[in-house]
Chain A
Amino acid sequence: MSSTIFVERRYVAGHPLQLREEAREIGRSAALLFELVHRDLTVRYKRSVLGFLWTMLHPLLLMLIFAVVFSSVFRGRSPHYETYFLSAYIAWNFFAQTTVNAMTSVAWNGPLMKRVRVPQSIFTLSTVISGLVNVGLSLIVLFAIMFATGTPLHATLWFLPVSLLLVGIFSFGASLALTAISIFFGDVREMVQAGMPALMYLTPIIYPISIVPDRYRWIIRLNPLVYIVEIVRDPIYYGIIPSHLTLIVATVVSLGSLTIGWMIFRHMAPRFHAHL
């Protein structure tokens, strides 16, 4: 017998993916995960002169546009509007980009998944991780903007990693479900891409929820993204730790998304190869 670890892999027809098995495989593929994130982050900008800086320039340009367009409208309600908007937009953009990128990534890496043994969910996971790195860079830009515009930087920023973890889990779950479905139906990616702007306007990102009449506010509050966005905006803009209620709802929503996403993914995974 050799000194290497004894591994037995057993594939029985019709069995869905096992969580423990998949988690172990991902753990064993840590090197690949690192390379995928590295590739995501560098390849996109390989041919551009400013390269990696674009990750930071993007929120900066957006801030200029939105701040100029909307700040006169909402300034009365939200002082330092640019921080109000950007703190939520960064969380939103992470969610929107991650789900769409995850679908693109699986479509793109389809040939790879058919030829090399990789954990099925690794491309989705790597998209989420590189998205989080981009969020980190965007936050640096945001803090710089806050500093420049004299917006107070609150001590509650320490809570941000917890918020981002929840946002990450939520997006990972949604991405798992969407990538699985998009492997079978190519139109799903287009639908999601087209629907994202509508979803953004249904979430209080550019406008404060207070402009929605009291009677209809409960409808807006049915949207899980409201809480996902709130837990990021609260510590940055309002300088408060999210309320217990918000935090509980956000946690339930994130774990719910992960559970449902994984259930869909694990049952569809054994048939991926026929459609990639």
Chain B
Amino acid sequence: MNVIELQNVSVRYRETKVRSLKEMVIRSLTAHPRSGWFYALRDVSLTIHHGEAVAIIGPNGAGKSTLLRVAAGIIPPSAGVAISRGPVAPVLELGTGFESELSGRENIFFNGALLGCSRDYMRKRVDDIIDFSGIEAFIDAPIRTYSTGMVARLAFAVATAIDAETILLDEILAVGDASFRTRCNERIARFVRNGATVIVVSHELEPLESLCSRAIWVAGGSVVADGAVVDVISRYRDRSQSSAALSA
């Protein structure tokens, strides 16, 4: 079964945005030429099957996060069709949707709700989440008193506690200290083993090689290569090194 299907998807933005009514009036009076389009994604077509573990790689600003968001149905395409089937967990980017005034425990429920989980569902998992995050001592203090690392650990614990069938992860492998990172990777690997569809965006190539079977290389809003993880990543490494050598 195809979990995600993108057909000729483009996402584009106006290069300059009109932010106020005043600006709009001035622009229309001065016959300002309409600004051009910036393409975050250009004519991307791809299919992701149930149970696949896919890595999305590419340089900064290549359109990786945009691709993930279109796939998750957060951003509507400007052209083309985006289809997702089955329950797709929202993109997990750490620290999203934490309310600084609420306590860690309250935030677990709030974050869970953002991911589509009821209070009862979260209540069954709350102890496990607190345990995994390793911040039990501070769980009833407001989030604003937490360090960045503590927030990230809690966020990861919540995000991976739910049993979604499709999981989209945006730049969350670079979280916390080495031991926490190892545990994170183990969790993601468990999702893959259990047959969930996992899509990961990351700059950390090593964990991707062991976690994923397929990689999609994105640059300039287009797909450069799509295939077995080892091939695509080695080609990507070669290219990065040669361009680094050129600029040096």
Binding site for B on A (CB under 8 A): 1-2, 4-13, 15, 28-32, 34-36, 39, 42-43, 46-47, 111-118, 184-188, 270, 273-275
A111 to B1, CA, bound (A): 32
Residues of B within 8 A of A4 (CB): 86-87, 165
Most A-side CB within 10 Å, residue of B13, B91, B114 = B114
Total number of B residues with any Cβ neighbor in A under 8 Å = 51
Interface residues of B in 1-41 (CB under 8 A from A): 1, 9-10, 13-14, 17-22, 24
Q: A42-B102, A118-B114 are in contact. List 19 more A-B contacts (CB 8 A).
A: A4-B165, A8-B84, A9-B73, A9-B84, A10-B83, A11-B83, A12-B77, A35-B113, A39-B99, A43-B99, A46-B102, A46-B142, A47-B101, A112-B97, A113-B74, A116-B115, A186-B19, A187-B21, A274-B13
Q: List 28 A-B contacts (CB under 8 A).
A: A4-B165, A9-B85, A10-B83, A11-B76, A11-B77, A11-B83, A13-B76, A13-B80, A31-B112, A31-B117, A35-B109, A35-B110, A42-B102, A43-B99, A47-B101, A111-B96, A113-B74, A114-B74, A114-B75, A116-B74, A116-B114, A116-B115, A117-B90, A118-B114, A185-B20, A185-B24, A187-B21, A275-B17
B118: interface (CB < 8 Å) = yes
Q: Which residues of A contact B99 (CB under 8 A)?
A: 39, 43
Across the interface, which residues of B come within 8 angstroms of A111, CB to CB?
96
Which residue of chain B has its CB nearest to the CB of A115? B96
Closest 4 CB pairs of A and B: A35-B113, A116-B90, A32-B113, A11-B82
Q: Which of A5, A9, A187, A273 contacts B75 (CB 8 A)?
A: A273
**A13 CA to B75 CA in the complex, in Å?**
10
The answer to the question of B116 belonging to the interface, with a C-beta cut-off of 8 Å to chain A, is yes
Select the residue from A112, A114, A188 with max chain B CB neighbours within 10 A: A114
**CB of B79 within 8 A of chain A?**
yes
Distance in angstroms between the alpha carbons of A28 and B87 in the assembled complex: 11
**Is B69 a contact of A34 with CB atoms below 8 Å?**
no
B114–A32 contact, CB under 8 A? yes
A258 to B139, CA, bound (A): 42
Partner of A13, one of B79, B102, B113, B116: B79
Taking the nearest CB of chain A, how far is it from the CB of B221, in angstroms?
Answer: 15
Judge if B81 is at the interface, Cβ distance under 8 Å.
yes
Given contacts A39-B99, A112-B96, contact A7 B119 (CB under 8 A): no
* Given A39-B110, A185-B19: A115 touches B76 (CB 8 Å cut-off): no
Distance between Cα atoms of A112 and B92 in the complex (Å): 11
User: Do the beta carbons of A6 and B97 come within 8 Å of each other?
Assistant: no
The residue in chain B whose Cβ has the minimal distance to the Cβ of A47 is B101
- Cα of A47 to Cα of B102 in the assembled complex, Å: 11
Q: A2 to B85, alpha carbons, bound, how many Å?
A: 12
Contacts of A47 in B (CB 8 A): 101
When distances are taken between beta carbons in the complex, the residues of chain A under 8 Å from B118 are 30-31
For the complex, what is the distance from the CA of A84 to the CA of B37, rounded to whole Å? 56
In the complex, A35→B18 CA distance in Å? Answer: 34
Contacts of A30 in B (CB 8 A): 118
- Decide if B85 touches A11 in the complex (CB within 8 Å): no
Is the Cβ of A8 less than 8 Å from the Cβ of B69? Answer: no
B78 at the interface (CB under 8 A from A): yes
Q: Does B88 contact A (CB under 8 A)?
A: yes
Q: Mark B180-221, 1 if CB is under 8 A from A, else 0.
A: 000000000000000000000000000000000000000000
Residue B52 is within 8 A (CB to CB) of chain A in the complex: no
- Docked CA distance A1–B117 (Å): 21
Q: Which chain B residue has the least Cβ–Cβ distance from A11?
A: B82
Is B226 interfacial (CB-CB < 8 Å)?
no
Provide the B139-165 mask, 1 if CB < 8 A to any CB of A, else 0.
Answer: 000100000000000000000000001
Contact B20 A186 (CB under 8 A): yes
Instruction: Please name the residue on chain B nearest to A43 by beta carbon.
Output: B101
Identify which of A28, A117, A184 contacts B88 (C-beta below 8 A). Answer: A117
The docked-state distance in angstroms from the alpha carbon of A10 to that of B76 is 10
Cβ contacts B104-136/A at 8 Å (1 or 0 each): 000001101111111100000000000000000
CA distance A2 to B1 in the complex (A): 11
B199 CB to closest chain A CB, in angstroms?
Answer: 14
Which chain A residue shows the least CB distance to B91?
A115
Give Cα distance in the complex from A230 to B13, angstroms: 46
CA of A150 to CA of B128 in the docked complex: distance in angstroms? Answer: 56
- Which residue among B24, B73, B102, B113 has the maximum number of chain A CB atoms within 10 Å of its CB? B113
Q: Does B223 contact A (CB under 8 A)?
A: no
Q: B residues within 8 A CB of A187?
A: 20-22
Please, which residue of chain B has its CB at the minimum distance from the CB of A16? Answer: B76
- A8–B81 touching, CB < 8 Å: no
Most-contacted residue by chain B among A47, A116, A118, A274 (CB, 10 A): A116
Q: Evaluate contact between B85 and A13: CB separation under 8 angstroms.
A: no
B72 near A: Cβ within 8 Å? yes
